[in-house]
Amino acid sequence: MNFRRGSGRDEPEINLIPFIDVLLVIIIFLMMTTTYNKVSGIEIDLPTASSSNATPPEEIAVSVTASGTVVIDGQSMARPTVDAVAAALKAALAKRGTAKPPVVSINADAKATHQSVIDVMQAAHQADLSQISFTTRSGS
C-alpha cells in the first residue's frame, strides 16, 4: 500500500548563487593579499677585456687622513687649502711628464671629513685632472 500517492521524491538541487558569492569573496581576498613585485632593471651587456694588452694608467696617489692631512705622492700637507693641493697636484703632474693625464687615486680614511675629500676633488679639477678614482677596502 502506497499511502504517499501525491508526494513524489524531490530531486536535490544545488543552489549556485551562494557558491558564486563565496568564490567572488575568495577571488577578492586573493587579489588583495597578492604582492606584486615590480622589477625595474636595465639589462646591460658588458664588454670583456683582455688583460694581456692592458697597461695600468699612471696614477697620482692622494691620501686624506682623519685629521685632515693630505698626502700627495708621499709629500704631506697639514691642513691644506684647495689652491695648495692644486699646486701640489700640478707639481706631481709635471714630474711625470706624460702626454696622457694620470688618474688621481683618492684614498680617504673612513673618519675623514667629506669636505676634505671634496677639497681634493676641487683641487684636481683646478689642476685639469679630470680622471678621479677612489680606493676602497674589501669587505672581508
Cα gap 46→20, rounded to integer Å: 53
- 108-122 tens-digit pLDDT: 888 888 898 999 999
- Alpha carbon 68 to chain centroid, angstroms: 27
- 70-106 tens-digit pLDDT: 999 888 887 789 999 999 988 888 887 777 888 998 9
Percent of the chain at pLDDT exceeding 90: 21
CATH number corresponding to 59-134: 3.30.420.270
Region of 21 on the Ramachandran plot (φ > 0 left; ψ -120 to 50 alpha; else beta): alpha
